[in-house]
Chain A
Amino acid sequence: MSGELASGFTIVAGSQISLALAISALLFVIGLVGFLCRRNMIIMFLCTELMFQGAALAMIAFARMRMDVSGQVFVIFILTVAAAEAALALGLVVLLYRRRETLSSDAWSELGES
């Protein structure tokens, strides 16, 4: 089922893949819980980054399982989107902070015109 084929090309054990998948699920769920629980807007966005981490880890695990690099390429695209998202989201947070002088998401619970 597994064994070393050559230097740097070890066939991965199935348990290693499922362990990576379990970690990715845990990271995603912790990020989800954090997004729902935390009330600081910046931390909420940080939690979405945690969820990104979980998704990326799952892609890496499946890429390893098939020895196909498409999954890794998609992780690179995830990095791109995460960087873009961070720039925009943080710009928005700074804008919101200037209006209400607080980072609490409760200040925006009714998204009316201020």
Chain B
Amino acid sequence: MVPTLFYAACAIAAMGLALILMPTGHKVRLGATVLGLAGVAWILVLVIGAIPTGMSEVGPLGLMVLCALVSVASAVRVITHHRPVFSAMYFVLVVISGAAIYVLLSAEFVAFSLVIVYAGAILITYLFVLMLAQQSPTDIGSADAVDYDRIAREPASAVIAGFVLIAVLGGSIFSVQDSATTARFDQERSVRNGWRDLASMPKLLLQQAQRTDPTVARVVPRADGRMIDVRSDSTAIISVERATQTAPMDMILSPSMLPDNTSRVGMALVTKFPVSLELAGVILLMAMLGAVVLARKQTDLADDERRTLAGLGTLADDPSVRSSR
């Protein structure tokens, strides 16, 4: 498939966005919004159509398209709204619809931490600073918004730069050859990854084995030294020992026993990336210190005031200072 149509869709969306950003009348703005939405919708349709889809995926795909439209539309509102507080509120909408997409991509843990950290913590900080540094009184109606919020700087060239980037990036989606084979390969590999993660969690592995058969005492390595053998039908075989007999026996685990998202993320966090985890802690600590240093009010005090704050007398009645002069 030639991505010419995709480039056209990008151009339409870019035109819409540029018109929204430019200072124009109400009607032009409305038309530009319709134009931009049409462009974005066309981009999404082309991207979906690039890879053939069976009927069984229409449900989650529809939900995802809905989330996509909500997040893109509110992202545009973030950068076009004249009142900063409203922009921040629209950003909350972007975060929430983004979290919905994460759930659809089965990244539940990250989805919830995204809502908690972004919508709960970071955005509140932004709102605090916005309220702190607000200039105009909070009247409704954008006519009295301050100049630097109303007039965009060079919208045309910025939009052109941005959408050339997206045309180049998005064009790569259409250059995928033989996507069906790739997907099949990925399916096998992804199941293998899941079982590999389970093999690194001995306690959970034992629990899963005991869910199948309560008499299992422990899971032992197989003859080739690995804990889990993955079979081609995405089930897996493990060796177990029962309390009553000593000889290890084979047991088949069904794919429903793969570890869930949260335990896999937690396991990867502490086994694969422990150094990054420590570094993240250091980064947070440094940011806290830096914020404290930055936010401290810097005042110029005279010598006497500084001495008073330090619990000393003024310069005039300090004999040691007078003698040293």
A-side residues, CB < 8 A to B, are 1-16, 18-23, 25-27, 29-34, 36-40, 42-43, 45-47, 49-50, 53, 56-57, 60-61, 63-70, 72-73, 75-77, 79-88, 90-95, 97, 102-106
Contacts and interface: CB of A to CB of B under 8 A. Distances in A.
Chain A interface helix/strand/loop/mixed: helix
A6 B258 CA distance: 9
Nearest to A79: B117
Interface stretch (B189-197, B213-221, B222-230, B312-320): B189-197
B284 A16 contact: no
Interface stretch (B25-33, B203-211, B239-247, B264-272): B264-272
B72 A32 contact: no
Contact of B61 (A15, A26, A92): A15
A72 B158 contact: no
Contacts of B135: 102-103
Contacts of A50: 75, 78-79, 91, 94
B260 interface: yes
Contacts of B161: 32-33, 36
B258 A9 contact: yes
Interface residues of B, number: 114
A35 to B, nearest CB: 8
Interface in B84-104: 84, 87-88, 91, 94-95, 98, 101-102, 104
Contacts of A45: 126
5 contacts: A2-B57, A27-B71, A29-B165, A33-B159, A69-B197
Given A12-B106, A69-B265, A95-B294, 12 more contacts: A2-B54, A5-B234, A12-B105, A13-B57, A19-B47, A36-B162, A49-B118, A53-B94, A65-B190, A67-B190, A69-B267, A94-B132
Contact of B269 (A8, A16, A76): A76
B5 interface: no
B48 to A, nearest CB: 5
Contact of B107 (A14, A53, A66, A72): A72
Output the residue of A13, A53, A104 with the most chain B CB within 10 A.
A13
A6 B287 contact: no
Contacts of A64: 105-107
Nearest to B90: A46
A15 B166 contact: no
A29 B173 contact: no
B233 to A, nearest CB: 10
A31 B98 CA distance: 14
Contacts of B48: 15, 18-19
Contact of A53 (B47, B98, B152, B154): B98
B255 A14 contact: no
A88 B197 CA distance: 37
A53 B129 contact: no
Contact of A60 (B72, B110, B153, B180): B110
Given A5-B255, A102-B135, A76 B79 contact: no
A88 B88 contact: no
Contact of A6 (B113, B254, B280): B254
A31 B159 CA distance: 11
B262 to A, nearest CB: 10
B78 A46 contact: yes
